[in-house]
Amino acid sequence: MVGFAQRQMAEFDGSPTMVELLVPLFAELYEQTGFTRKDIGFWCSGSSDYLAGRSFSFVSAVDAIGALPPVAESHVEMDAAWALYEAWVKIQTGEIDTALVYGFGKSSAGVLRRTLALQLDPYTMTPLWPDTVSLAGLQARLGIEAGLWDEATMAAVAQRSLTDAQDNPHAVRRGGSSVEELLARPMYADPLRKHDCAPVTDGASALVLAADDRARESCERPAWIGGIAHNVDPLHLGARELTSSPSSRRAGDAAGLDGIEIAELHAPFTHQELVLRESFGLRADVRISPSGGALAGNPMFTAGLNRIGEAASRIHSGEATRVMGHATSGPLLQQNLVCVMDGATK
């Protein structure tokens, strides 16, 4: 990982294809890496038609590349973290040695928590329109009842996140106060307060992958991918244990989390961070989401890629030598991806 650029905001006033955001992001990456468009061997993106409200919403984004002469390109209908995975796989085949991965989502175009009800079982769940916040509330209370966490530990997650976000210029929500003050705020979707839920966020981000010497020539301290893996749980409530995340555990085990100093976790709700920390078995001294994480900004379909980019940037800056970025997708942490990065090649 040799370059990373992001934009996020509470509400983007431009087109749902987000071409206007992608153009400056790509320019920023060319600047960071010294690459030009012609140096990129493969392009891969993540986005959603339902988020944009129209079919083939990703098609216009190709314009931002400047795709004549044509490019090798692909798209996943997933968070762009999985586009990163596809690009990494392509590099492993030896066919290419550079890739640019991007994602974008204009969450504010519709009613996000309602739109996401379309991710549920279309026969037995979606017709009730269970919104994202309600589902998270059900999950949070299960954990509270089971004694796995309580309102105070949830508030502590928000407090740390909003405090850290003060140093993140991209954060759309920031400013911690105290756990006591947060707990004094009114309930919203009992058992959740508003600060337990990630803000609706629009945004786009992009990063560059390069192999071997291409990485060394384009970045002073590349973040070398030491392990990357993903996994999915069943969606149906009858087949899932909601207070743990088996797919995260499997992805973490496959990627190899030993020696992690920083973990950027994609937890759109405070209690979900607690689920993830437990599932990954992170030691107490692992620094969690120094960017502020998803509670400070959660642009759909690129927020997972942002976690990986944020983690990589801690390597680029020399601040850490081994980090992980995590991405989630689907209702209630259904699908999870872990990318472990090192400051030095093994």
Instruction: Please identify, using beta-carbon distances, which residue of 191 and 292 lies nearer to other proteins.
Output: 191
Instruction: Please identify, using beta-carbon distances, which residue of 133 and 162 lies nearer to other proteins.
Output: 133
Shortest separation between residue 49's beta carbon and other proteins, angstroms: 5
Q: For the chain, how big is the Rg over CA atoms in Å? A: 19
Q: Which residues of 43-79 are buried (b: 16+ CB within 10 A; e: fewer)?
A: bbbbbbeebbeeeebbeebbebbeeeeebebebbebb
- Cα gap 45→116, rounded to integer Å: 20
- Cα gap 255→323, rounded to integer Å: 11
Shortest separation between residue 75's beta carbon and other proteins, angstroms: 5
Instruction: Please identify, using beta-carbon distances, which residue of 280 and 320 lies nearer to other proteins.
Output: 280
Instruction: Please identify, using beta-carbon distances, which residue of 62 and 320 lies nearer to other proteins.
Output: 62
Please name which of 302, 312, 311, 274 lies closest in space to residue 7, comparing C-alpha atoms: 302
Instruction: Please identify, using beta-carbon distances, which residue of 289 and 329 lies nearer to other proteins.
Output: 329
- Cα gap 183→191, rounded to integer Å: 11
Measured at the CA of 284, the angle between CA 273 and CA 229, to 5 degrees, comes to 55
Shortest separation between residue 123's beta carbon and other proteins, angstroms: 5
Shortest separation between residue 223's beta carbon and other proteins, angstroms: 19
Shortest separation between residue 164's beta carbon and other proteins, angstroms: 27
